Structure 1
Amino acid sequence: MHPEIEQSGFALVGNVLDASECSALRETLGPVSGAGERGLLGRPGVVTLAQSDRLLNLIRPHLPAEPQPVRAIYFDKSAEANWGVPWHQDLTIALRARTEVVGFGPWSTKEGIPHVQPPAELLAQMLTLRLHLDDTDESNGALHVLPGSHREGRLTSDRIQELRAQQTDYLCVAAAGDALLMRPLLLHASGRSTSPRHRRVLHIEYAGFALPTGLEWHEAA
């Protein structure tokens, strides 16, 4: 168990994958066009890893029920596909269809997939695992986080600015094979890469709750 997840909203775990496993996963995921690829729980290699006890044992202590992988995204930041992300929380979940349910909203559509903001108390019952497939630091766009910000629920833009002024952020430097565990409500951002190196990350979201009747995860394993 990583008690800092409840206090700070995140934890770095070293050596979850070894060098050969990182290499094999990079080969399996292959090159991507643009920033990355969504819908990866449809790939056998990814879903097997997401459901493995190695990963689930990291997640289980921090969710109220057996973790269910509900979304996987592969990010590849490089000199050819480079971007920065402003400070934000991960507020939406991807679903199969739009069904109006009290407490869920607003809705949006990304790449043809319905997304909705669930109640903040459900987001608090999720945990994201980010597997680093490359060494990651400031130069190639490592994630910055604002410790403890997940405890404030869904934040307004004004409150985000206040917290940024009050606190110092933390840079999540990681080696290939390390994992970052983080709450969706944790404020985070990343800068553009200034390095020719890749920053490849397999991002897997886990939920510890069942959706209300009428709602289905878009890609639950």
Structure 2
Amino acid sequence: MTPDGLSEGGYQLLPGQLDAEQCDYLKTVLSRIPPERAGRRNILESCPEIWPLVEAGNLYAPVRARLGPQARLVRALYFDKTAARNWQVGWHQDLSIAVSEAAELPGFSAWSSKAGVVHVQPPDALLARMLTVRLHLDPADRDNGALWVLPGSHRQGRLAEEGIDAATALGEPVLIAAAAGDVLLMRPLLLHASRKALTAARRRVLHLEYSADELPAPLRWALQIEK
């Protein structure tokens, strides 16, 4: 991608943002967490010792450069795809955020509970300003379930099912082949998908979501960790 690929394409791959020692540290810490079928939610509550690495300059600097100094981490997930613990995800956008409690407000809908945390779909404008950061702890390729993205689809806003079908029929998907230590920046409204792994090679990814917005009262972001 070009330097402005995040705004144009909705994603940007940053090679070598984590070194081998950092990747090994994360894998060691995360190995203590029993995996769920499609990964693990609320991972920073389970592994608070990875906070310093998540906030390290080489990871936080790209976020601050794009969202400003008020950017903060608002949700963290962990995915560990293997041949034995395998899944595929169809084309979709990331539409939900994690909040501390439910409160009926205009523009906030589709309330749900995931792993004991309240989730809601906020207005599109808030999603459009957010940034997702995916830390690759293993190489990701076509055979072990790497992510596919549809460049530019984030500029179409929130898409209904028929809109997703139309966009994927006309667009040219791109495979995000990444090395261990590479970081993918992407907009939540970017259409993305992943296929089942075809090999035994693991594909571990730490998925972090950032926002510079404060939610309208009385809503608060669910991730409120005292470090």
Fold shared, TM-score > 0.5 on shorter chain = yes
Q: Deviations over 1:105-155 (max 9, x none)?
A: 121122222110000000011001000000110100000000000011100
2:7 maps to: 6
Give the structure 2 partner of residue 16 of structure 1.
Answer: 17
Amino acid at match of 2:113: T
Q: Can you give the 5+ residue segments of structure 1 that lack an aligned partner in the other structure? A: none
Q: Distance in 2 between matches of 1:126 and 1:84?
A: 24
SS across alignment from 2:143: helix
Off by >4 Å, runs of 4+ in structure 1: none
Counterpart AA for 2:7: E
Looking at structure 1, the residues matched to 73 and 67 of structure 2 have their Cα atoms a distance apart, in angstroms, of 12
Instruction: State whether residues 77 and 83 of structure 1, in contact with CA within 8 Å, keep that contact through their aligned partners in structure 2.
Output: yes
**CA deviation after TM superposition for structure 1 residue 193, in Å:** 0.3
Partner of 1:33: 35
State the distance in 1 between where 2:193 and 2:71 align: 25
1:51 CA displacement: 2.1
Equivalent in the alignment of 2:106: 102
Residue of structure 2 equivalent to 1:86: 90
Q: Scaled by the length of structure 1, what TM-score is found?
A: 0.95
Which piece of structure 1 moves more, 43-52 or 110-119? 43-52
Output the amino acid matched with 1:33: P
% identity of equivalent residues = 47
Distance 1:102 1:108 in 2: 16
What's 1:52 paired with?
56
For residues 121 and 215 of structure 1, do their structure 2 counterparts lie closer, same or farther at Cα, with a shift above 3 Å needed?
Answer: same
Aligned residues: 221
Task: Give per-residue Cα distances to partners, 1:73-102, cap 9 Å, x unaligned.
Answer: 110000121000000000000111111111
Secondary structure of the 2:113 match is strand
Structure 2 portions without partners, runs of 5+? none
Q: 1:60 to 1:2 in 2, by over 3 A?
A: farther
Query: Take 1:187 and 1:39, find their aligned partners in 2: how far apart are those partners?
Result: 23
Q: In the alignment, is the contact (CA less than 8 A) between 2:41 and 2:115 conserved in 1?
A: no
